[in-house]
Structure 1
Amino acid sequence: MLLLSLETSSPVCSVALHRIADGSLVGQSELRLDKSHSTHLTILIEQLLVNTGHQLADLAAVAVSDGPGSYTGLRIGAAAAKGLCFALDIPLVAVSTLKSLAAQVVVGTTWSENHLYCPMLDARRMEVYAAIYTHEGQEVLAPTPLLLDADTLAEQLAQHSVLFFGNGAAKFQALLGEHVHAGFLAGIEPSAVAVGQLAVAAYHRQEFQDVAYYEPFYLKEVYTTTPRT
């Protein structure tokens, strides 16, 4: 029994397979090509299944990165996941993009209990989507849009060592400068592997989404404009 996970919330298009019984990773594949999700996601899924010697019938569930993140990317991931779940009659699992990003860092951090973890995703200009978690994944700050300045998260930084990462963290580092309680990690990108690891645990807890009505967690209302012509 396998779980397929999809991560499309950022410019990285990533897919992974995990065994549900023990959570072990079977395989992963990703592309770091901007705006490639719509044309490459299904190809990545097909190739991953072939390369690992499996087929769609072996899937017991599909997990998707729930957001926040790129509106278009999240829509593409959700559509693909819902289509597979509906066609195969299997459950859908949604995993917070920010929580899975934090989980990646916790695994690779020595003395992980000594820090709080703050993933930041770029939301353009001086805004980010951010949250804060403990090393056990407990929310200290729920996912929220943050307008950055030198005093952002001052209360948390006054009391705790906080690690910042994700494609929005560099903007905050430039504003904050040197801070004894702040650490910044470069090169941390959303990954379907982390999504899958959290999704396996959610599967065993039977935390499933309604396939017909599921929508990604955009965090902010999406605004569209009509051309003047």
Structure 2
Amino acid sequence: MAIILNIETATKNCSVSIAKEGKTLLCKEIATENFSHAEKLHVFIGTILEETQYNFNDIHAIAVSQGPGSYTGLRIGVSSAKGLCYALGVPLIAIDTLALLAKQITIEEGIIIPMIDARRMEVYTAFYDKNYNRIRATEAEIIDTNSYNTVAETLHLVGDGALKFKAILTKSNFVFHDDIVYPSANEMSSLSYEKYKKSDFVDVAYFEPFYLKDFVLNK
């Protein structure tokens, strides 16, 4: 039996879940314009353990969303996850944030394009097939009216970055799923369990978030 605590803080959504054998038992999350991760993350962890009647000693691994995404959000989530791993002596599992966002949709044909807002006219994005295999590399991409003009397949767009460009991506093969805005720890459960079964862990001491772009301080 594997009990895994999942932490997702790569976007405005501060999200925590606890899962047993890959099934979410409870998820707590909140998305606010002013990032609430520092205030809410450990409160959610404590609440989830209390409500599910587990304690820290019951946890077999910690999973964290590795990015790309918000520099501050990723730093908070990864720091907290690493601290818990050190304290509990359990392994750390890293989950790709775009794969996590793509996992929220089920399609029968076409391509899933998760998009995380990277400010201005840019998004963090990748392509996934219907089985959630990544078929185009993750990149920070500037979006304009000509984006993906050469792709004939149906393109399923999810995430806050997709919503941002809905007005300019108007080709008939674009399908926007407006209800899927942020990655969530709820979908981390199955992904983290699959990695746990394979002992696909990262080094707690040396693991760093996948920022994709250098941090720039806005003045």
| TM-score scaled by length of structure 1 | 0.90
1:133-183 CA-to-partner distances (Å, cap 9, x unmatched) read: 011111121111111111112222x2x111001001123321122x22110
Q: Does 1:64 align with 2:64?
A: yes
Gaps of at least 5 residues in structure 2 are none
For 1:109, the equivalent position in structure 2 comes to none
1:11-30 paired onto structure 2 within 5 Å: 11-20=12-21, 23-30=22-29
Q: More deviation in 95-104 or 189-198? A: 189-198
For 1:154, the equivalent position in structure 2 comes to 149
Is 2:10–2:65's contact at 8 Å kept on the other side of the alignment?
A: yes
CA RMSD of aligned residues (A): 1.3
- Counterpart CA distance in 1 for 2:76 and 2:185 is 14
Structure with higher helix content: 1
| Alignment length (residue pairs) | 216
Is 2:8–2:183's contact at 8 Å kept on the other side of the alignment?
A: yes
For 1:48, the equivalent position in structure 2 comes to 48
Is 1:97–1:195's contact at 8 Å kept on the other side of the alignment?
A: no
Q: Does 1:121 align with 2:113?
A: no
Which of 132, 137, 145 is the equivalent residue of 1:137? 132
Q: Does 1:181 align with 2:164?
A: no
Note the C-alpha offset of 1:224.
3.9
- Counterpart CA distance in 2 for 1:196 and 1:64 is 11
Is 1:113–1:134's contact at 8 Å kept on the other side of the alignment?
A: no
- Counterpart CA distance in 2 for 1:155 and 1:79 is 41
For 2:104, the equivalent position in structure 1 comes to 104
Note the C-alpha offset of 1:35.
1.6
Identical aligned residues as a percent: 40
Residues 30/171 of structure 1: CA separation in 2 closer, same or farther (3 Å cut): closer
The alignment partner of 2:172 has SS state of coil
1:187-198 paired onto structure 2 within 5 Å: 187-188=179-180, 189-198=182-191
1:21-67 CA-to-partner distances (Å, cap 9, x unmatched) read: xx122111112233210111011001100000100000000000111
What letter is aligned with 2:43? Answer: I
Gaps of at least 5 residues in structure 1 are 107-111
| TM-score scaled by length of structure 2 | 0.94
Is 1:163–1:184's contact at 8 Å kept on the other side of the alignment?
A: yes
